[in-house]
Every structure is written in C-alpha cells, then in structure tokens.
Amino acid sequence: MPEANWYPDNQDPSILRYFDGDRWTDHTRPLDTVGSQRDETTSPGADQSSENEREDSAISALLSIGFIGAFIGLMLGGALLNGLGSLSPITSQPGTLDRLELDISVSQSSSSTSSRRSYILGGRTDQGAPWQIVDDEAYAIVEAEGYPQRVTVDIADWTGKAVRVQTETWEVDRQSTGNRIAWIVAVAFMGVVGIIGTLITFKVTTRPVLNALIFAVGFFVVGNWLGYQAFAWMQSV
C-alpha cells in the first residue's frame, strides 16, 4: 500500500491526485514539474492551513495600515484642522443680538484652583439660526448700550459657527489674515503628508491599490475628522 502523498492521476496525467494512505481523495492539483518535487509531501490540509494564514496576515496588514493612517491623521487633524472654520465659505445674514452670558468654568488641581471667564454674545439670525461669539470688549459695549441690537452675522458654512459679528459701533472678527494663512499652510502640509503616506503604502505593500486606499481613508476621513472634532471638544470644555 503506497504511503500518503501526491501521485499522478491515472485518468489525467497532467494533474496530481492525493492518496491519504487508505484511498484516493478528491483533492487534485496541476502537475508542476518544477515545484512538484519540493511540494510532493504537502497534504491538502497543510495547503489550506497555509492559505488561511496568508488571509489572516493580509487582514492584519490592512488593519495595521488603516490604524497607522488614522493615528497620523488624528494627530494632524487635532493640531492643524481645528481652525478650519476660518477657511470655510462665509454666508452673511442679518440678525439680532438678544442675550449676554457670562460663563465661569472652574478647574482644580492638587495645589490650586483656577477659573476662566467667557463673555458670550448670542442671538438668532433672521432665518432663525442660533449664533454666539465670545469677546469681552464687545460684551462690555453691549452691556453699556443695552440690547437687543440689530447685527450682521457671518456664518462659516462648513461649521455653522459665527466668525464675525458687527454693528455700527462695534465688531468682533475671528477671521484674521494671519489665521487664514496659518490654516492654509496647515491644510497644505497635512495634504502633502497624506499623499506621501499613500504613495509609500502603494509602493511597499503587496496589495498596493487596496492598502493605499485603506491608508488614505484612515488618514483623511477617519483621522482628520476625529482629530478636528476631538480638539474642538477639548477647547469647548
């Protein structure tokens, strides 16, 4: 009785059929004259195990690439994109300033207690959208002049936040030229880093298109967006 191994098929000499030691199985493979000698003792189970390992390795590689892209994007998104509202298209709307709020936040540490005051001006546009902006000087002026007051509000289309509020006697502007330049540079830098990372992933991995796509999505979509939201939240608390 022959031992378990691959043998030429009696019906088709161009393929090998596996004999398990007791009977001929349904497992076949092409006759490879170059690699048959090297693989002739490899069982179908071993082939399947090797294929499963390759699939697990590929999934792990994709997850790792996505995580790396998301992590890098998270750091850059948090540090650089938080002021993206200053680059957003702006819609100017007439509205009303109808409230003043003084927000006092207290933070405690093991050695001291500190407080921070935020002087908030708020109201609604004529279309009903709520807005608010923080400025201590304008707060003092409105407190002295009285309210409600008619105002013109510039709303950032991307974030929905008020970036500029003005009347005939005072103005609050959060759109300085310096901020715009800084964020343009930041966004450009972030884009270059993302593109370089995507190209490197495309060049050095075994599944270039899929891996590069996973990295780009992790970097630009997941990482940048989460970074922006997380940093904005940290500033708001």
CATH number of 89-179: 2.40.50
Residue 184 has pLDDT above 60, yes or no: yes
Instruction: Collapse the DSSP code of 57 into the 3-class scheme (helix H, G, I; strand E, B; otherwise coil) and give the result.
Output: helix
Strands (DSSP E) along the chain, which ranges?
A: 5-8, 15-19, 24-30, 90-108, 113-125, 130-134, 149-156, 162-166, 171-173
User: What digits encode the pLDDT tens for the residues 73-131?
Assistant: 666 666 555 555 445 578 899 999 999 999 988 777 767 777 888 999 999 999 999 99
Kindly give, in sequence order, each residue whose CB lies less than 8 Å from that of residue 215, ignoring residues fewer than 6 positions away: 65, 66, 68, 69, 197, 198, 201
CA distance 164 to 174: 6
Distance of CA 22 to the CA centre of its chain: 57
User: What digits encode the pLDDT tens for the residues 14-59?
Assistant: 888 888 878 888 888 887 654 444 455 555 555 555 555 555 566 7
Residue 138 has pLDDT above 80, yes or no: yes
Where does CATH 2.40.50 sit in the chain? 89-179
